[in-house]
Every structure is written in C-alpha cells, then in structure tokens.
Structure 1
Amino acid sequence: MSFPPLDTALPAGADAREHALLLRRVHEASLSGDPSPARPRPVIEDSWSRTRRFGIDPDAGPPPRMVSLEELHRRREDSPISEVLPLIRRSLVSVADEADHIMLVTDASGQILWRDGAHRIRTMGDRVGLIEGAYWNEGSTGTNAIGTTLVVGRPVQVYSAEHFVRSLHALTCACAPIHDPRDGRLLGAIDVTGPVSTVHPSTLALVSAVAQLAEAHLQSIHHTHLERLRSVAAPLLAGMRERALVVDDTGWTAAVVNMEPVRRVLLPKHHETGTAWLPALGECSLEPLPGGWLIRPRPAECASPSTVTLDLSGPAPAVTVAGSSGRWAHRPTPRHAELLLLLAVHRSGRTAAQLSHDVFGAVGHVVTVRAELSRLRRHLGGIVESRPYRFSEDVVVRVVLPDHPEDLLPGSVAPGVRALRSRVGSGERAIPLGAESAT
C-alpha cells in the first residue's frame, strides 16, 4: 500500500521553537476570532472545525473515556493487529525510547490497546491520559495525531499548538493508520508521541513505514491461511463437474474448478448456508467449510440486486447491496468511495477523462482512473458498468450523507468531492439519486 507525500508538521528549514510560537499565535487567533498571523494546515483547520462541533473546551479538555480492564483485554484479543504487534514493537520501541517518545497502538475507534516506552516518558503520558484503555479519537480529546489520522485515513503529524486542547501543546505526535489488506477495513493506528522539543519530520515517515510493514505482514498471514484452505478444498473440488470455487470468510478465492478464476467474491453481509446473489457470479449456493465457503454458481439467470446504498455518514464509507436474494456489504477504499460518489451523482455516466478531472483536477490521470475502476468492478461487477462508467440502470442508488457537509469524505482532496461538500446541506441524511442529481 502506498501513501501520497507525507504532510509533516514542521516546514522544511523552519526553526522548531519559532514555529511552535507561531502556532500558538495561530491557535489563539482561531479561538478569539482575531486576525491570524498564518493559516493552519488544511488537515488541522478541518480538525479544529470538527472539534468545535464536539464542544470540547480548549482550556479543559475532557479526560479520555476509558473502558474496563476486562473489556481492554477482550479488544486486544479481537484485534488483528495483535498478530503483528511483535513486529511493530521490534521496529519502533527502541527508536521511541532513544527519542524520548512512547509508542501507542490503537483500534479503529481510537482506543489505546498497547503502550510501550521508557518509564519517564510513560509518566508524561499518564499526566495527559495517554494510557491503555483510553479513547483518543477527536470526539474525546480534540485534534491529535491519533484521532485525526483515523478520520482522514492517512498519516498525520501534529505539533505543539496544532493540538486543540492547550494541555497537549507540550507534545509532538506522529501517527499512521493500519488497514486490513484483505478488505481495506481500518484496523487502528500506530502513534509515537513525545515532548515538543523532540519534533522531527522523519518521525512521520518512520511510523508510516512501520504501518505499511505491518500491513504487508498481515497480507503474508492471509496468504498462509489461503494455502491451508486450498489444501482442505483440493479433495472436495477434484471430483466436481460443475463450476465451483472455495473462498475464505472475507471472500478471497483459495481454489476454483471449471470456471475462470475470480480473485475475490463479495459475500452477503450475514452469509449462511443457502443461496445468494453475488456480483459477477449471479445466483449461487453457499456451503460452509472450515475457514471458508464453497460457492457453486447456478446456471440460470436470477434476480439482480435492486438497491445500492453508499453510506458516507460513519467513520468509514460502506456499500450495501440489497435484492431478492439477500443483502451484502463492502468497505470501499477511499479512492473507490470517491468514484462511487461521483458515479452516484452522475447517473448518466462519466468517461475516464471526466473522472480524472473530478478526482485529480486534470485529465492526465486517465490510466490511473481506469485501473482503479477495473479493481472496483471486480467487486461490483453487474452493478458498475463501463463505456461510460456508470451505475447499472436497473438499480436504485442511495447516498447516506453525514450530518455536516465538511464530514463528507473528509480525507478527500478530489475537486469533484470538494465541490459536492459545498452543495450538500446538513439536513438530509439519505438521498435517492436520479440522473445528474446531487441532492
């Protein structure tokens, strides 16, 4: 997984102490409404806006919400990150110790699951609530690297007075998200936090690299699981004459017989033994296997899905497809969420050149757009069509919007999405979209 160029908190060549003083003046001006000596970075400005809506007092930020020790242990056991925690610790703990930082690992809600670092620095974390079991999302503690990273879905560094709550101005933090390589789902984040005097642009690059390394290791674990499932499935498939494939619980194909390979199948949201309509396969029978499913596509055509819902109201976009054969859901990547939203608005379709302009602000990224839509159509075959790219005329498309326009794909800088933010009101949540309709 690759990230765009990292947006570090300390400008190149800037004196850290002088920049911290400038940020304090910017922070004060933002709270008082006085003219500001400079604008905060866009990612910080957007986060401050969200934090104000949460009603957080910059002078008395609320103590982080906590869970019981029993609940913390349960969440640790349930977190896929636990499988790569030794790798994360080997990569970061010694570096964090030397740099007077603590290392934190959170889940997707911003709850700190693990904390490592020298005793002296952990004591500093105790004073501000950077402790295991505490929530550090923006709704709990305002603008901070953990919470803001989880909102925008990319690495974020927050320095000194970029934190909304004044008691955090003595800190510098760098954080990067960890996604499940199987389906792109946000699993949590890795953060290193230390005294403001330890700020360094390379910290963000280091944390980002470790997050990508953790994702690569999770991918390797997944491949091992598919190999085991393939071994289980081989005797079962050997004697079959009809089309069939074996997938794991997230729909990744382990083995196939008498048909073209399909890299991944989107399984129904609450799949169980029986029949279901699946993208690109049609009506299928599903039978459980240890660690996966046996899928047999049926030869006859059957009912297609009737409704597609793109839910953008929560912390992560979701696509739900419903029809006479059941209901299933998919977590699109941030780029795919952008494309689906644009296609929902433009029901008559968009060419690759038009989508290039919508997403990148120029028509020179047609190849990239086509590649992304090819990946998207692997998941949504029969729902998203091409020439031009569009939703099938047979489905009703609904978009569920956030309460506030600025929360519409907040991590997106695509011109088409930014234009939509200015057009969408906060009073409507679920919008049926007709041809060329944006509201």
Structure 2
Amino acid sequence: MDLLGRAIHDPRTGRLLGAIDITGGDHLANPHSLALVLATARAAEAFLATLPGPRAAGASLSALGRDAAVLSAGGRSLPLSRRHSEIVALLCAHPEGLTGDQLAIELYGDDLVNPVTLRAELSRLRHALGPLLLSRPYRLRDAVHSDFAEIAEHLGRGDVTAALRTYRGPLLPRSDAPGVVRLRRLIEGQLRAGVRASADPALLAAWTEASWGAEDLWMWEALAAVLPAGSPRQALALERVARLSEEYAPPDATWLQRRRH
C-alpha cells in the first residue's frame, strides 16, 4: 500500500494545519498522482491566504510626522522603508486598488522607470506583509486604518479639536512621490481650513506654535484677528504677521504691495 501526501501550512504563520494524502495500491505511485496532491495542497493554502487572519485584523498605519511609516498588526509593529511607506500609504488612500501603471505614476510621476524596479519593490513588500498585500490590482486585503484617514473622519464629524490632536505633522514629510505629495497637501489643507474656520484662539495658537505652522502667515493673521484687541498675545501675533509679511514679499515690492501680500 502506497501513500502520497503533502503538508498544508498556515500561509501567515507557517504552522502545520494538516495534509493532503492519497492512499492506495502501487498504481498511485506515478507523477500524475503526485502532481494532483501538490496542486490540491497549494490551492488550499492559496484559499487560506484570502481569508481574514489575526495578522491583518485591526491593522493600522502611522505615517504622520515621520519619514518612515510603521504598520501595526496582531500586536506587532513593522517599521517600513521610505519607499514601502509610500506604497502602503497610497494603497490605504485607494482601498479599491491601483494597477501597476497607476502605482508607478503615483510613486514616480512622469519619470521613466523600469517596471522591474516597481515589481522588485512590491516583491520585497509582499515578503514583509505576507497575504496582506494583494495584486491585480495592487491593494491591501483588509482595511488598514491610517492616522491620516482619522483626520478626515474627525473633520467629517466637525470635531476640529480631535483632528488637530491626531495630527502629528505632515504625511511622510520628506517624500517627493507625486501621489504622497498630493495626499499630504490635501490632508494639511483640510485641517488648516478647519482650524481657521473654527476661529478658536486655542486651536489657532496650537497650529502656529507647532513646527509645521510656525511660518504660516495665513494662520497667524487669523490668530491675531481673534485675540483680544490690545492684549500682549495679540501684539506678539501682529509682530509675527508683520515679520512674515516682510519675509514673503518680493524683494522689489512696493509698500502697498507688501501690505496686500
């Protein structure tokens, strides 16, 4: 009696789950039977990889105010390279997925890049993420909560205070990937507009005191407008407005043009 078998492992953890086997007479000992067992086992593992698992469940991405993002899942934190940070952030922003061409444009813009370069990056990323990264199109298998998406959620509910509290700085600030740059500007622009529209001195002060808002003339003007007239804080804000206006004005601007700037 012959037995042909092949073990089945959890595609996420590598843990042995069971086996596919065929037991019978001598006629089973042939290449066709072995190929059938192997194909069946691989199909089972491929199906298991599509199921939600503990490693992907509750995954979150932290990418605000840092040059390299951190992916947290299943109680583990995975620091990502700068390029992988850009890819995962873009896939979080496009849950429907991106084709290889679309992803290349988001990462490299109009620069001519060998498709092999992108495929190599995605291969390395898949090795790090396992079944969380799917292809055709490229997408994340389960919803990954990102800190930058949380900003939009707070603003959608009109909670500007919570949005500003969540904001730890620009999205991947050193990234020059076109898709990331657009997303960064969108997030910052929405939050900035929300803080200014609130006319809340505390929120405006928090923005202008932060490293990313210290040179923001538009927000300093808004802060000066809502502070009590003649107060020391307003005087400081007005002084900052005057200094920034001077710095941002063209060198050959007239006095009137500087005032209008």
TM-score (norm 1): 0.28
TM-score (norm 2): 0.45
**Structure richer in helix, relative to its length:** 2
Task: From the CA coordinates, give the structure whose radius of gyration is larger.
Answer: 2
**Structure richer in strand, relative to its length:** 1
Q: Taking CA–CA contacts closer than 8 Å with sequence separation of 6 or more, which of the two structures ends up with the larger relative contact order?
A: 2
